[in-house]
A and B are shown apart, each in its own frame.
Chain A
Amino acid sequence: MISVPLEHSLILAGMLFAIGLFGLLLRRNLIFIFLSIEIMLNACAFAFIATGHHYGQPDGQVMFIFILAIAAAEVAIGLALALKFEQIFKTLDAQAANEMRG
């Protein structure tokens, strides 16, 4: 339907990924770290779809389905761990888990 060149879509995906990376390193709240990971996953999925559309092959969409499944499983376990984290450390600050002494 549309004829956006592939490079543009990939640049969009790249920028979304970079934003996710930025958030990953910046935020200290565990929920926001997970959110940044989701952003990155989403960006990758977008790259797959765009490339699949460009080459006219359904493999990109198939890959997207798998990424979705993985993201779902990961979010489930990750949030369960976040709950446990909060239970132990009484906070969601990732720096609270620095228990090693060098």
Chain B
Amino acid sequence: MLWYIPALPLGAFFILLFFGYLGRSFKNIVGTSFIFLSFITSLIISMSHWGEKSYAEILWTWIPKTHIGFVLDPLSIIMILVITFVASLVALYSTKFMSDDPSLARFFAYLNLFVASMLILVLADNLLLLFAGWEGVGLCSYLLIGFWYERPETNAAAHKAFITTRVADVFLLIGIIYLGLELNTLTISTALIRMGEFYSSGSLSAHIIALCLLIGALGKSAQFPFHTWLPDAMLGPTPASALIHAATMVTAGVYLLARMAPLFNLAPDIQHLIVVGAAFTLILGSWCALRQSDLKRVLAYSTISQIGYMFLALGAGAPGAAMFHFTTHAFFKALLFLGAGVIGEALHHEYNMFKMGGLKKELPLTYYTFLMGSAALVGLPLISSGYYSKELILSETYLSPAAGLVPWIIGVLGALLTALYVGRMIILVFFGKAHAPITMKPTWPMTFPLIILAFLSLFAGALQTPLLQSLGFGHHKIDLAVILIASAAPVVGLIFAYLLYKNHNKPKKYRDFRLDNIYKYIFIYPYIKLSHYLRKDFFIHIYTPVINFINFTYALLSQTQNGRIGHYLTVVVASALTIIGFLVWL
């Protein structure tokens, strides 16, 4: 029954591919119900296999030694539940959000294909199938970012996303192949067991494989140095951004590292590297988020920063904390993106925060749900789920041998900055004078997901702790002072935000640390120059005469088809006579 879970959205993809011309309600129903059915199936299967170590279903053999098989263990249970749940809500939301788009069928088709690929990725029992799902989500990300392909900047953004993650994927593939050659298997469970036998802690092979997998994960999860594609990916439709670039695809890297956690435990240097990179990324993301004027770009940088937190936990050797933060982040970030979509639709596709204001009165439901999502994002103590997950990460970081005090301090600073930019965002969007009138208020397909996600953003933290403990993730005991300082940081940050931004002053706008430009000069210009230079290599003298010859014979032969009946008759008679003459001669 396990294969139903990815097969249902895949079926929806094919149905929409072939029958996408049938009416709006058909598209809406097919686009959403299959994902929802997949969610129900995930629920049923998870509950029936709750607490088991793992449950595997092998479908058939693909290449010798790798099969198409799916595995269910606590890690993948969390993933499939969150993915299908958030995807169902996003699909419901987009029935209203994309209702006047002419390519609705294409959108739902891509959405379903994405969900199917992501589910294949998390349920795969071997690394090759995981890689197939990995590529699938990369493809769907490209398709969805470039959904409105008539705008040229959208195409550029989609290419940027795809090429950047592709470069990282090469390293992932190298890692997978190396692992397969060394351990003679690609099945994950077998590989993890053999790793323990073959590699001692600190062996070179383990480091190499871990490094390659890490680079692959960094690309897909938009961490430094591969983070440049995510802010530009906001040119896609907002529901796609909510699902892909907030809740699911960008967490594929987190899933990979969590799944291969025993490998990283064997490579402590790589864990140090992860911690360093994650710490840098989370400060970078928060810093840049503070300087954005576009609402969705703030959320994009916020995603970069929050995933940095997850990577911090992974580097600290606490994959449970990372997965906990993944679930809460999925809920509140999807909520924030959907809310941003409501705001954008209400103001007629305007996402510039300095042109918003005073929306608290006009869109009260959106305001309250957005507020709850933001509370979870900053991690307001005790009342939001984000608090619990972020606290867990910071505690694990403090206690971990691979991390320690300095990453913890950076994490707390990051929380401060998070509170700063979130506070700024809320003040600019919802308070103050209204600049633009509302053109559309949201209806139930858009508000219902917001309400559900808001509820989960507040309470999922408290609810999840016993759930996760029953699944096997535990807590450690820790100093009270550490917890108090970490809890105070968001509150302090919010107070600062209020003081700094209550007058809605417009700062100087610079968007990035100009990393884009550096990449352009290092990679892109030399490549273009080199390919230009190599245009006239010596092969051209080989195939140009062939082309000329083909053109010549074409010009010659096309004169026989001139449409003149007399000519045709003559040719027929002449050939008949020639054949007879040939026979006579014989």
The smallest beta-carbon distance between B558 and chain A, in angstroms, is: 7
Interface segment, one of B327-335, B492-500, B562-570: B562-570
Q: Give Cα A102 to B562, complex, Å.
A: 5
In A72-102, the 8 Å CB interface with B consists of 94-95, 97-100, 102
- Which residues of chain A are near B562, meaning CB under 8 Å? 98, 100, 102
Q: Does residue B573 face the partner (Cβ distance < 8 Å to A)?
A: yes
Instruction: Please name all residues of chain A whose beta carbon is closer than 8 Å to the beta carbon of B563 when the two chains form the complex.
Output: 97-100
- Classify the interface of chain A: helix, strand, loop or mixed: helix
Q: Residues of B contacting A25 with CB < 8 Å?
A: 566, 569-570, 573
Flag whether A24 is at the interface (Cβ < 8 A). yes
Residues of A within 8 A of B569 (CB): 24-25, 33
A45–B564 alpha-carbon span in the complex (Å): 30
For the complex, give the distance between the alpha carbons of A98 and B568 in Å.
11
Q: Is the CB of B573 within 8 A of A21?
A: yes
Give Cα A28–Cα B558 distance, bound, in whole angstroms.
24
Q: Collect the chain B residues with CB atoms within 8 Å of residue A21's CB.
A: 573
How many Å from the CB of A44 to the closest CB on chain B?
Answer: 13
Evaluate contact between B561 and A95: CB separation under 8 angstroms. Answer: no
A95 touches B566 (CB 8 A): yes
Given contacts A25-B566, A95-B566, contact A100 B561 (CB under 8 A): yes
Which chain B residues border A100 with CB–CB below 8 Å? 561-563
Which of chain A's residues has its CB closest to B577's CB?
A: A21
Instruction: Decide yes or no whether B559 CB sits under 8 A from chain A.
Output: yes
> Which residues of chain B come closer than 8 Å to A95, judged between CB atoms?
564-566
Q: How far is the CB of A94 from chain B (nearest CB, A)?
A: 4
A99→B563 CA distance, assembly (Å): 6
Residues of chain A lying within 8 A (CB to CB) of residue B565:
94-95, 97-98
Cα A99 to Cα B570 in complex, Å, equals 18
Nearest CB in chain A: distance from B574 CB, A = 10
Are A94 and B566 closer than 8 Å at their CB atoms? yes
Instruction: For the complex formed, measure the closest distance between the CB of B559 and the CB atoms of chain A, giving whole angstroms.
Output: 7
* Residues of chain B from 556 to 586 with CB closer than 8 A to chain A in the complex: 558-559, 561-566, 569-570, 573
Residues 33-66 of A, flagged 1 when their CB comes within 8 A of B and 0 if not, give: 1000000000000000000000000000000000
Within the complex, what minimum Cβ distance (angstroms) separates A34 from chain B?
12
Tell me the minimal C-beta distance from B409 to chain A in angstroms: 79
A-side contacts of B561, CB under 8 Å: 100
Q: Which of A24, A94, A98, A99 contacts B573 (CB 8 A)?
A: A24
How many angstroms between the C-alpha atoms of A99 and B565 in the bound complex?
10
CB distance from A10 to the nearest CB of B (A): 14
- In the assembled complex, the Cα of A100 lies from the Cα of B561 at a distance in Å of 8
Least CB distance from A11 to B in Å reads 15
Task: Give Cα A97–Cα B566 distance, bound, in whole angstroms.
Answer: 10
User: Which among B565, B569, B570 has the greatest number of chain A C-beta atoms within 10 A?
Assistant: B565
- Separation in Å of the B190 CB from the closest CB of chain A? 67
Instruction: Give Cα distance in the complex from A81 to B559, angstroms.
Output: 27
CB of B559 within 8 A of CB of A102, answer yes
Indicate whether A102 sits within 8 Å of B573 (C-beta atoms), given known contacts A25-B566, A28-B566, A94-B565: no
**B570 neighbours in A (Cβ, 8 Å):** 25
| A21 CA to B573 CA, complexed, in Å | 8
- Tell me the complex Cα distance, A99–B561, Å: 11
From residue B575, how far is it (CB to closest CB) to chain A in Å?
13
In the bound assembly, the distance between CA atoms of A94 and B570 in angstroms comes to 13
Which residues from B are CB-within-8-Å of A97?
563, 565
| Chain A, residue nearest B576 (CB) | A21
- Give the CA-CA distance A23 to B203 in the complex, in Å: 93
Cβ of A3 to closest chain B Cβ, rounded Å: 28
In the bound assembly, the distance between CA atoms of A78 and B569 in angstroms comes to 16
- Assembled-state Cα–Cα distance A17/B573 (Å): 12
| Residues of chain B within 8 A of A24, CB atoms compared | 569, 573
Closest to B565 in A: A94
**Interfacial residues of chain B within 342-398, with CB under 8 A of chain A in the complex:** none
CB closest chain-B residue, reference A97:
B565
B414-433 vs A, Cβ < 8 Å mask (1 yes, 0 no)? 00000000000000000000
- B465 CB, nearest partner CB in chain A, Å: 79
* Bound form: Cα–Cα A52–B133 in Å: 77
Measured between beta carbons, the chain A residues less than 8 angstroms from B558 are 102
Residues of the B chain whose Cβ atoms lie less than 8 Å from the Cβ of A102: 558-559, 562
CA distance A95 to B567 in the complex (A): 10
Bound Cα distance A99, B562 (Å): 8
Which residue on B lies nearest to A93, using beta carbons?
B565
Distance in Å from the Cβ of B583 to the closest Cβ of chain A? 15
State which residues 15-34 of A face B: CB under 8 Å: 21, 24-25, 28, 33
CB-CB under 8 A from A28, the residues of chain B are 566
B351 to nearest A CB, angstroms? 53
Q: What distance in Å separates the Cβ of B579 from its nearest Cβ neighbour in chain A?
A: 14
Question: In the bound complex, what is the Cα–Cα distance between A33 and B562 (angstroms)?
Answer: 20
Q: How far is the CB of A64 from chain B (nearest CB, A)?
A: 22
Q: How far in angstroms is the closest Cβ of chain A from B584?
A: 13
Question: Chain B's nearest CB lies how many Å from the CB of A37?
Answer: 10
| Additional A-B contacts beyond A25-B569, A94-B566, A98-B563 (4; CB < 8 A) | A21-B573, A24-B569, A98-B564, A100-B561
Can you list the 7 inter-chain pairs with the closest CB atoms, starting with the nearest?
A100-B563, A94-B565, A98-B564, A98-B563, A102-B562, A99-B563, A100-B562
* 10 intermolecular pairs with C-beta atoms under 8 Å apart: A21-B573, A24-B569, A94-B566, A95-B564, A97-B563, A98-B564, A98-B565, A99-B563, A102-B558, A102-B562
Give residues in B with beta carbon < 8 Å to A: 558-559, 561-566, 569-570, 573
